Amino acid sequence: MNNITFFTSCLAMLLLGGCIEERVDDALFNSNLANADYWSEEAKILSAGVGFADIIEVDFDEVSRENAIAAGAAWLDDSSCEPENTGVFTQLALAPGVTILYRGNVDYSVLKDGALGLDGQPIVFSWPVLSENVHPEDFKITLNTGEVVFPQFAGMNPNYEYNERNCVVLFGEVCNRLPSSDPAARFPVRVDIVDDGTPLMLIGPNQEIKSAVGMFWETTTSPYDENNGPRLVGAKLNYCGTKAVGEGVAGAAFANSVVPNDEFALYGGGDFRLRILTTGGFSPDGVRGVKPTDFEKYFIIHALGQNGDTVLIDKVGQDFQVLGGSLRVIGLSDLGLAQDSYDECYVEDRDNYIDIILEGDEAAARNITFLEIPSLEGGYSPFYNPGGPGTTPTLGVNYSAPGPRDVEPVIIALDNPMRVSYDGYRYR
């Protein structure tokens, strides 16, 4: 063996070790949690309705206007963003993105009603999930037609940060784009968590671990019904503390894309974080991202006033006098990176969480009562999930509907933070 042969062998050994494809799977499905919120004392499904149809894992060569429209995804003709940054023009997602980030396998042969891609269905739990046991076979989906199906994929993305992980996202063929009143409509009416041999596990108060098997969720509506878009399923107030524990971490594969996006990265901190949990990704139109400066467009915080009345906190940077003192909204976080200014090209994480960061008196914060999304009904902008129409919808295409007005009670978690941490490695 000469020098060259020996050196080549050594190099091959290094490459064998080093060039093994980075295991995104390891980071997303390691069960790790760091200060992840649980949203009630009881483990349950908070929402499980299908979000949108047809636009995921589509087998096209490129993201383009033509392909987006062919798949039924919105395309922003009025966007002034850089053309090569196609992700801000459409929510069309090409193969093999889902195959890489989720567990499961694509099967285009089961697509129906002319669909070119898969449908998205977020399953939101009140407790964080131990992600190592998340598999498509955990979720039995019953359609309004009586058909029983399982999703093709299940995974944690985009709710991958260690202080999130309440929401499992499924992709499969489960719906079409017709409202529930249409006789030809097809959509999930029930989701059951079933035992696939590795039961889906949740973790909550006092590190209690509970199987999700047996939990179910039912509905009679479709996301293509009027005003039946995403809504709130949780609102929870915690101290910001001195650092954003669990934020922005799930592995090197995700570093620097949309994180750090916490209150310390955007505002240097704050006094209180009002975290909201939603039934689906929130977007102004289905395509564009929510900006950290958008509080006034979408949200109103209700608090008790000094005379027992209700004070509506609806402006950023303004002190509101409530019972116990004053409160001021700084802005939104858990979206995307901090920037000097925010425009329509802003890229955010599109997950099921948005944080409202406040400053003020603790006694005042304890008198926050509700978080409201007034939506169109209240004269505000609505939220859409990624199946929304964008601002230049294609004629004749049904897009998922805007969300309704929603008022969610705020859990005051200043004394008991209602959070859990878990080191997945320790229990393997």
Q: Which residues bind another protein (CB under 8 A)?
A: 1, 3, 6-7, 9-11, 13-20, 22-27, 30, 32-35, 162-163, 207, 245-246, 249-253, 419, 421-426
- Give the H/E segment covering residue 325: strand 325-333
With beta carbons less than 8 A apart as the criterion, state whether 290 and 248 touch. no
Q: Residue 413 and residue 289: Cα distance in Å, rounded?
A: 28
With beta carbons less than 8 A apart as the criterion, state whether 188 and 121 touch. yes
Cβ-defined contacts of 23-28 (< 8 Å, 24+): 24/100, 24/101, 24/251, 24/253, 25/103, 26/251, 27/160, 27/250, 27/251, 27/252, 27/253, 27/254, 28/101, 28/131, 28/155, 28/156, 28/157, 28/160, 28/250, 28/251
C-beta of 20: minimal distance to another protein in Å? 5
In what side-by-side order are the strands of the sheet with 188-193?
148-149, 139-143, 188-193, 216-218
What is the DSSP pairing of strand 33-37 with strand 103-104?
Answer: unpaired
Q: Residue 341 and residue 311: Cα distance in Å, rounded?
A: 30
C-beta of 251: minimal distance to another protein in Å? 5
- Give the H/E segment covering residue 354: strand 353-360
Q: Which residue blocks in 361-415 are alpha helix, DSSP H?
A: 362-365
Nearer to another protein, 10 or 363 (CB): 10
C-alpha distances in Å from residue 54, one per residue of 93, 182, 281, 397? 10, 18, 16, 12
With beta carbons less than 8 A apart as the criterion, state whether 95 and 307 touch. no
Nearer to another protein, 27 or 167 (CB): 27
Closest-CA residue to 381 (of 292, 306, 284, 291):
284
Nearer to another protein, 16 or 395 (CB): 16
Give the pair of three-digit tokens for residue 246. 């669990």
Give the pair of three-digit tokens for residue 353. 């969480």
Give the pair of three-digit tokens for residue 360. 């003020």
